[in-house]
Amino acid sequence: MRIYTRSGDKGETSLYDGKRIKKDDIRVECYGTIDELNAFLGHAKNYIEDAEIREIIFRIQRELFNVAGELATYNGKDFPERIGSGHIEALEKTIDVYTAKIEDIGKFIIPGTNKASSSLHIARTVCRRAERRILTLCETEDISQELLKYINRLSDTIYMIARYLESDLKYVEFEKL
């Protein structure tokens, strides 16, 4: 099998369901940003020693293929492995576990006191960008509410794990006017 097909040489790509669209279409931007997020999570795993967290990230990476596949299908309902409420509940459970392990959740922190946390904070910001791009797609296309909720919870999940892995928290203090 060849990696190149030459079918994209004129700026078009195929969706999962075979429909051809321009490579700069918002739909491609959405699943491309999910791909970028997946790569950043894979990068972050290299700096994480905690086996449980590595397994959580691996599970999320696999689920991101479902997110991308659903986004890469013109009618996402036709994609066979859609994101559902169980995926969202698993993220919420992870958020709750790591929220219980940290203090001062209501304060802003300066992110990235080590390689593991800084890598996850980058992934978190990519996740938030993906959410913004998907919301733009929602203006013209019907996107699953579960997929939207999943991406929203995912950024919170990544944040909580990153914050848990911080080695020397530096809080942001605002001076009062």
Task: Please tell me the predicted confidence (pLDDT) of residue 171.
Answer: 83
pLDDT value at position 129?
98
* Tens-place pLDDT, residues 58-85: 999 999 999 999 998 877 677 778 899 9
Q: Tokens in use for 154?
A: 């995912």
> Is 73 in contact with 79 (CB distance < 8 Å)?
yes
19-56 per-residue burial string, b: 16 or more CB within 10 A, e: under 16: eebeeeebbbbbbbbbbebbebbeebbeebeeeebeeb
DSSP string, 29-45: HHHHHHHHHHHHHHHHH
* pTM for the structure as a whole: 0.90
Least confident span in 102-116, 129-143, 149-163: 102-116
Q: Quick one: pLDDT at residue 7?
A: 55
Q: What is the pLDDT of residues 120-153, one digit of tens each?
A: 999 999 999 999 999 999 999 999 999 999 999 9
> Residue 166: what pLDDT?
94
The 10s digit of each residue's pLDDT in 8-36 is 556 777 777 778 877 878 888 999 999 99
Structure-block tokens of residue 103? 């203090």
Q: How many C-beta atoms lie closer than 10 Å to residue 82's C-beta? A: 18
Mean of the per-residue pLDDT values of the chain? 90
Q: Which domains does the chain have, with CATH numbers?
A: 22-165 (1.20.1200.10)
